[in-house]
Structure 1
Amino acid sequence: KRKYNIQLKSNVTNGCLSQSDKDIIFDTTKPSNSRSKGLQLSPSNKFFSILLKCSVDNLGSGDSTMECVQKELAKDNKKMSNTCSQCFKDSVSCGKSNCWLPCLFGSPCSDRCYNCGVNYCNKELIRCTGLENLPSACS
């Protein structure tokens, strides 16, 4: 069995320390029924609802996913900083590179897909954001 461990090191550190970035990431608003491409998503909050939906809609492309996220945030007059957006873009790309197989036929919140993303990508995402922890993407 082949293991892919592609570490995508971001050149960003402390990328999400602005109050506006924290307000977006830690927003406690529960999302309404969240679906994408027929998949039931189980996001933990509004930001992760947007991130997961945009990621599925854009087949894990980091650039397209974050363009989608910024458009959705703009509907609420919010904007994630470029450095913070870069951290999440790199994390989405990491998930696509390392977890495409476990994530291919299910929700990003399925155990196999979610655990893969956590194992391969969370440590770098936390380092990049500069935050001590992040809310779980899935509820």
Structure 2
Amino acid sequence: MNYLTPHLMVAMLCLSICASLQAGAQGNCTSFDLDYICQNTEYVQAVSLDCGLACLNDGEECLVACMTEQLALTNDCIGCFGEQVTCIVQSCFLACAFGSEEDCAACALSNCEAGFNECAGIVNADTDDWTNLCDCNDNNPNIYPGADGTNEGFDNNCNGIFSPTETTDCLADLNLDNTVGTADLLIFLGTFGCVSNCIGEADMNNDGVVGASDLLIFLSEFGLGCN
């Protein structure tokens, strides 16, 4: 009887997804890989566990091949899952074979979490309890899934929609579509360089000239959601 099997499932589950979600520097996993894992969490969990069990006696190469057939992840990223299994088997055999599931998971997190995150490029740069795996802006602690709006023009909760509690007053929303984007940039560039009697929204600092200072204002608001 393989006593390692059920506990390995728990350890892989925690390391692959749970620890990473609770913990966005790029490692072997691209931004596409991280987004794919975030958007398909349960499926990635299931595949990684199934392949881990199927390849328990055949090693890392078997697991990578198994996961490659089923997941839209790069080979380098999948390789991190293979290294993770190797780490668990080498570092936590006793805890997983003879201890409880909790003992196995704790050992895996203690010994293999840091290595997996480093390999995959999973970090928490803004220390908001969400890594770049699902945090759409890991440089701002006020932006993460489920965050409250701050009325600064950011998509605080990472749902791709600007809510009334997230939008702000914008000078650079030249086409009045409630976002500062490419269309506004084209309008701005059409008036950039005006040096006298410059009337219009592109003269954001109202100095009669559309120049570098207006460009800085525009760039500071680019991408914001506006009232």
TM bracket (short chain): 0.5 to 0.7
* Structure 1 position 106, deviation (Å): 8.4
Identity in percent: 29
Which of residues 120, 126, 134 in structure 1 aligns to 2:111? Answer: 120
Please give the root-mean-square deviation of Cα atoms over the aligned residues, in Å: 2.5
* Residues 2-39 of structure 1: per-residue CA shift (max 9 Å, x gap): xxxxxxxxxxx7111231x113321345xxxxxxxxxx
Query: How far did residue 82 of structure 1 move?
Result: 2.0
**Unaligned runs of at least 5 residues, structure 2:** 1-25, 124-130, 135-227
Name the residue aligned to 1:58.
55
SS where residue 131 of structure 1 aligns?
coil
Matches within 5 A, 1:9-88: 14-19=27-32, 21-28=33-40, 45-59=42-56, 61-73=59-71, 78=72, 80-88=73-81
Q: Structure 1-normalised TM-score? A: 0.61
Answer yes or no: is the 8 Å Cα contact 2:29–2:121 preserved in 1.
yes
Residue deviations 1:62-109 (CA, integer Å, cap 9, x gap): 221121111222xxxx2x1122122221111111111122223689xx
Q: Tell me how far apart the structure 2 counterparts of residues 104 and 67 of structure 1 sit (CA, whole Å).
A: 25
> Whose RCO is larger (CA < 8 A, sep 6+)?
1
- Give the equivalent residue in structure 2 for 1:90: 83
8 A contact 2:68–2:75 mirrored in 1: no
Helix, strand or coil at the partner of 1:26: helix
Q: Which residue of 1 aligns with 2:94?
A: 101
Cα distance in structure 2, aligned partners of 1:123 and 1:50 = 22
Matches of 2:111 and 2:119 in 1, distance apart? 14
Q: Which 4+ runs in 1 deviate beyond 4 A?
A: none
Give the Cα–Cα distance (whole angstroms) in 2 for the partners of residues 16 and 92 of structure 1.
Answer: 17
The alignment of Structure 1 onto Structure 2 pairs a total of residues equal to 100
Cα distance change of structure 1 residues 47 and 105 upon mapping to structure 2, 3 Å threshold: farther
Q: TM-score, normalising length from structure 2?
A: 0.39
**Relative to structure 1, is the Cα distance of residues 94 and 125 closer, same or farther in structure 2, using a 3 angstrom cutoff?**
same
Computing the radius of gyration over CA atoms, which structure comes out larger, 1 or 2?
2
